[in-house]
Structure 1
């Protein structure tokens, strides 16, 4: 949405994307695993664009409940329907009996169907004049649901979904006025999809840092979810880990929905299995939680995720200008 990492609105130049003259490409890896590669990422246009998008969405949902009235364009409605379709496919590929507890191999069949149909699904979202972009954008949809070989899911896949959404801003299909719905409706629906995949196919955490990670699978919903809670008169960070709070308010706030989900899938004391989130609950207010999570995310992306990210023409490895 924004080309600068301060969450600003898109400029007129960005809004006037030249779809006809633009040369699209299939995204590919550009960053190696070594720390010496990190500056290449941090100087790239993709870094500015993705961080700008995350911060712009963060600003858009500040203090807003999930049920907040927001504009649902026909495109956003179709995007929700696409996610519904992906979830409906799960019933076609039920888990198979296998000796391994985790990583059910039926996920590979579900993934194959997505891979075979991804471009067609994205084509179905776009008017004819935008369909030149569909092959490039479809790659991020496929990347957003997990790894077919390892049958795992983590923050890199979540980042691919953020990239998927950003690409629609880049080409001008999504507008600034869509921001609330992008987070409160579309991203929220995506979370339900990937949770279904995680639970149905017993997907492993991808690159988990163990008890010291924020969460086995997600990061961005904690950023946007903490923004929703900024200024709340009764729910404070220390309240977020209390069952009576996250059970009652999980439908209103993404952060609390994530806490509830963690407690559904993990056993034992919360302070032990989710140490980072337990520590966050001691932060005095949601403003500080939010700004701290943004800083953590920048470090998380740079250290653990970006070597797997795919760069194309819409999210470019070229240095930002």
Structure 2
């Protein structure tokens, strides 16, 4: 299948005109396992994976601390994520007998109703006739308020939200580094704070056989950052000294540091899949393997994709030949 790259540059063409889209409120299209075929043949799948791979190529060999431009749209996204972060501080955990899934999360989640008003004030409806088309994946990011689980499906919802912003021209090619190093990194900070504060449980965790309980994309993009690194090899990321020294530069090592803070015991026991990855000879092979794994274990799994909603920006219609 053709994987569509996204995020055009100013030199390529002008931002999409709102009239280019026939806006509709997104809705679920994957209700049973046989429907997965529609998803894998859809324009949405091609656009989404194209977005992931475009960013993967854009961060290759670059540090989190490198220089890059920060556009007005990126600043607005950071402000929005900063608000979500502040709401966690304003909504402390409550006393309850259950250790996991603190019920204060539901109070925090209820505030997401304000996201729509916030986005409409920051991005006028004259620019986006139907803000729900872009907003829907964002709200889905923190959905499932009743069981208070988080998983790579929520992460995919946020990535889909960013993908939609690229499709409407709000984010552009020159924003690639800021999308990952600023916006996505801030998203990770918020998610980690949610996990710590409300003791969120992973949804559908495969235990030590899963890559990570909650995230996947930072391992893909983080391994791309390390491709052709002069000294750091995959075998080094299990060394605490290396992680502490380089985590501020590389997203992959930032993830390992967080895992080390949250889990106890030998790394090979609590993160067996990652431990196995440390035996791979090069970061390019790690990166390629993680992309294949992401497609197979996340994008081709019904429990993840059944929650996706499709509309005019992420269309369930088949890719045109």
- TM-score per shorter chain, which class? over 0.9
Distance 2:210 2:150 in 1: 14
1:196 — aligned with what? 193
SS for the counterpart of 1:230 is coil
Q: Is the 8 A contact 1:14 1:170 kept in 2?
A: no
Q: Structure 1's 302 and 102: CA in aligned 2 closer, same or farther, altered over 3 A? A: same
2:107 — aligned with what? 109
Q: Is the 8 A contact 2:44 2:316 kept in 1?
A: yes
Q: Is the 8 A contact 2:6 2:54 kept in 1?
A: yes
Distance 1:311 1:213 in 2: 28
What pairs up with 1:1-321 in 2 under 5 angstroms? 4-5=2-3, 7=5, 10=8, 17-20=16-19, 22-34=21-33, 36-114=34-112, 116-300=113-297, 301-303=299-301, 304-321=303-320
Of the structure 1 ranges 298-307 and 158-167, higher mean CA displacement relative to structure 2 is found in 298-307
SS for the counterpart of 1:233 is coil
Give the TM-score, by structure 1 length.
0.94
Deviation at 1:32, TM superposition (A): 2.7
Distance 1:249 1:26 in 2: 44
Give the TM-score, by structure 2 length.
0.94
Distance 1:176 1:8 in 2: 8
Q: Is the 8 A contact 1:145 1:194 kept in 2?
A: no
Distance 2:86 2:155 in 1: 20
**What stretches of structure 1 of length at least 5 have no aligned partner?**
none
Q: Superposition RMSD on alpha carbons, in Å?
A: 1.9
Deviation at 1:69, TM superposition (A): 0.6
Distance 2:59 2:85 in 1: 26
Deviation at 1:146, TM superposition (A): 4.7
Q: Is the 8 A contact 1:146 1:154 kept in 2?
A: no
1:80-138 Cα deviation digits (max 9, x unpaired) = 11101110011221100011100011100110101x11211222332453232422211
Q: Structure 1's 15 and 211: CA in aligned 2 closer, same or farther, altered over 3 A? A: farther
**What stretches of structure 2 of length at least 5 have no aligned partner?**
none
Deviation at 1:16, TM superposition (A): 5.1
Deviation at 1:181, TM superposition (A): 0.6
Distance 2:222 2:20 in 1: 38
Q: Is the 8 A contact 2:23 2:133 kept in 1?
A: yes
Runs of 4+ in 1 over 3 A off after TM superposition: 6-16
Corresponding pairs, count: 317
Deviation at 1:312, TM superposition (A): 1.6
Q: Structure 1's 210 and 15: CA in aligned 2 closer, same or farther, altered over 3 A? A: farther
